[in-house]
Amino acid sequence: MGKVHGMSGQEELPEMETTDVSDLQLIYSVRDTLVEVTLGVRENYDELVRYLHPKRNPSAEEFAALVTTLRGLSGAVSYIDPAHHDALLFALSRLSLWNYATVVMDALLELIVSLAVSNGMYIDWCLEMLVKHFVPPIYLFDFLKETNGIEKKNKVLSRVHAALEQISDLVPLAPLRLSPIVVQKMPKSCKMSEPEIVMYVENMLRLESGAIGEIVGGTMLPALVDRLIELDVGIGWDGNLQEDVKCIFELELEEIAEFADEDENIFNMSTTDMLNRNNLQGNKVAEQLDSLIVLIFLHLESCQSSGRIAEVFDILLKSFERTVLNAYKSKFTQFVMFYACALDPEGCGVKFAMVLTEMFGSDVNPPITRMSAVAYLASYLSRAKFLSSALVASVIQRLVDWCFSYCMLHDVDMNPQAHQVFYSGCQAIMYLLCFRMRSLVDVPRLRMQLIKMPLEPMLKHKLSPLKVCLPSVVEEFLRQAKAARLFMTSESFVFNDLLESDLSKAFGGTDRLDMFFPFDPCLLKKSQSYLKPHFVHWSRVRTTYDTNDNDEDSDSGSEASDDDFVDGNAKDSIDDDMIMGVEAGLDFDADLNKMSITPKSMKYGFVTQMERGMRMPTRI
């Protein structure tokens, strides 16, 4: 390739800022070279392609030749024809921005942008090429942790995103083509290491918040949520509930130990727990999921500060309805919704509750969706520290109204399978009241509202929800109701500390929605620290029969104190935050051993834990 070669040979780097004339000459020579190929003359072309091949340690001359060639090509893009110049395109596709200095980066990106806008058929190729740069080559990851590496990362990624925006400016429909490419190229979790997928997701979120976010945002976030779900269900311990309850419980203990300052928690752990903890620490999928959730949390925070949270929440809500809601026992993904709600309690927080309530009430939805929705609703309202008691009361009112009118319409005997939606509604009400009853009865207005609700006729109806719902929930509810003097049950229920019964299994169906409490404590280490300030742990809940105001006392106190059925102390200052004693120094750690309790069949031999005062099913 005489002309180009001649020029690049003579020019050193500084001279590349040449005048227009030589730039034009360069472009013309490249153009001629490209045209010659169609006539069968390939000599110059082959040489030109050779300049583009990546070299290990390029000399100054090779470096200059590369830059010159790239610049020449960007001036002659309309002469590039995939039929004749496939070798050239292949060589270009092998160039990686991560391996070059900024001069080459700029030249290459200029070429990519020119190519993308010159001809419709290259646009996908160019977008793919840019998306490929979201993740650096594997050997660079260690380098990226250093200061220089971070600088490099910023240089590359800011250029890649700028190029994407530039293409979108010139080809307004390009973002529509970009979204499927980004989703498709998303690394498969099994093949990629954690830093790779994390970096890719960082870029996805950057696209979402960038200039073209309006168009691609609607695809990025749902795709991300789908990926989370994929990882979520990939974590071994959810496949078979019967088998896995045990593992979840142990993981929970593991987390307790991670966060605990007090030694007692560690002491409480059995040897198997310790072993299990070690196993789970190595759980790559869980760690990956954890990192991704944290990334999304941070993204949500930035959305909140830029005032976009409502908009982003709507997208998340759609994707929640589509995938998360009906995913079989999704364990962590839903906390993305929880955190978004926590960031904007008045807007998103209330909206989420309302949407779930409506989904439950709307008989167009299939029963399984309605049951999931109400399980989410109960768990969300119980666990969200940021929601007002008034909101909780209004939701309970709606649920009770629905259930009561169902009772009126169905004057039949108990049948768990036939009335599963009704039973799930009743269980949700009871579960919710286990957590919130004290905070409701302490406010006179809400107490009146609660007393006026037709709870008693509903629960004593022939459909016998008290017999069908999870015994552990019913038992705790009745205990609190009795203490609060909500109503008196004439029938006595003897559950013998059973956490589930055959009847509850029957209404829960094969998916065991009777034991589904989606917002039970998140066990992922990093995510948990974000959720902590917004989350209510069972150990922190003041029950109606709990006379102690001091959490520490009640925790260390014996079970006997729980059996004093006394109304809540009227002198207690009640605010919307129903959790008492959450002080800076006093974290939930001390109470975790008593906190989230997964209902388990006694056959697993968890009698000891049960006896330690774990009454509430809070973790499935």
Q: Which of 115, 171, 391, 458 binds another protein (CB under 8 A)?
A: 171
Q: Which of 41, 101, 121, 275 binds another protein (CB under 8 A)?
A: 121
Q: How far apart are CA 51 and CA 62, in angstroms?
A: 7
Window 59-118: residues binding another protein (CB under 8 A): 75-78, 114, 117-118
Region near another protein per CB under 8 A, out of 163-171, 283-291, 333-341, 394-402: 163-171
Q: Can residue 219 be called a binding residue for another protein (CB under 8 A)?
A: no
Q: List phi, psi (to 5°) of 535.
A: -115, 140
Shortest Å, Cβ 218 to another protein: 13
Nearest by Cα to 315 from 233, 220, 431, 191: 220
Cβ contacts of 281-285, under 8 Å, gap ≥ 24: 281/254, 283/235, 283/236, 284/194, 285/189, 285/231, 285/234, 285/235
Q: Which two tokens stand for residue 81?
A: 């024809």
Shortest Å, Cβ 478 to another protein: 39
Cβ-proximal residues to 450 (8 Å cutoff; 6+ apart), any chain:
393, 396, 437, 440, 441, 486
Shortest Å, Cβ 172 to another protein: 5
Q: Can residue 41 be called a binding residue for another protein (CB under 8 A)?
A: no
Q: How far apart are CA 135 and CA 30, in angstroms?
A: 31
Shortest Å, Cβ 364 to another protein: 6
Shortest Å, Cβ 420 to another protein: 20
Q: How far apart are CA 383 and CA 352, in angstroms?
A: 13
Q: List phi, psi (to 5°) of 618.
A: -125, -5
Shortest Å, Cβ 69 to another protein: 16
Our CB check for another protein shows the closer of 323 and 394 to be: 323
Binding mask 406-445 for another protein (x = CB under 8 A): ----------------------------------------
Nearest by Cα to 576 from 453, 486, 478, 445: 445
The amino acid sitting at 273 is D
Our CB check for another protein shows the closer of 117 and 620 to be: 117
Q: Which of 123, 160, 486, 524 binds another protein (CB under 8 A)?
A: 123
Q: Can residue 318 be called a binding residue for another protein (CB under 8 A)?
A: no
Shortest Å, Cβ 340 to another protein: 25
Our CB check for another protein shows the closer of 119 and 415 to be: 119
Q: Can residue 568 be called a binding residue for another protein (CB under 8 A)?
A: no
Q: Which of 96, 119, 394, 569 binds another protein (CB under 8 A)?
A: 119
Q: How far apart are CA 475 and CA 493, in angstroms?
A: 8
Strands (DSSP E) found in 105-149: none
Our CB check for another protein shows the closer of 25 and 548 to be: 25
Cα-based angle 414, 415, 421 (whole degrees, multiple of 5): 105
Residue 81's SS3 state is coil
Binding mask 353-392 for another protein (x = CB under 8 A): -----------x----------------------------
Shortest Å, Cβ 215 to another protein: 11
Shortest Å, Cβ 35 to another protein: 12
Q: Can residue 169 be called a binding residue for another protein (CB under 8 A)?
A: yes
Shortest Å, Cβ 18 to another protein: 14
Our CB check for another protein shows the closer of 12 and 169 to be: 169
- DSSP code string of 415-476: -TTTTHHHHHHHHHHHHHHHHHHHHHHTSHHHHHHHHHS-HHHHHTSTT-HHHHS-HHHHHH
Region near another protein per CB under 8 A, out of 96-104, 134-142, 165-173, 408-416: 165-173
Alpha helices in 239-283, H assignment, sequence order: 241-259, 263-268, 271-281
Residue 384's SS3 state is strand
Number of residues that bind another protein (CB under 8 A): 22
Cβ of 352: how many Cβ atoms within 10 Å? 26
Cross-strand pairs, 384: 535
Q: Which two tokens stand for residue 303?
A: 């959305």
Window 6-35: residues binding another protein (CB under 8 A): 20, 24, 27
Shortest Å, Cβ 74 to another protein: 9
Q: Which two tokens stand for residue 377?
A: 């609703």
Q: How far is CA 195 from the centre of its chain?
A: 17
Our CB check for another protein shows the closer of 170 and 408 to be: 170
Q: Which of 103, 140, 176, 315 binds another protein (CB under 8 A)?
A: 176
Q: Which residues bind another protein (CB under 8 A)?
A: 20, 24, 27, 75-78, 114, 117-121, 123, 169-173, 176-177, 364
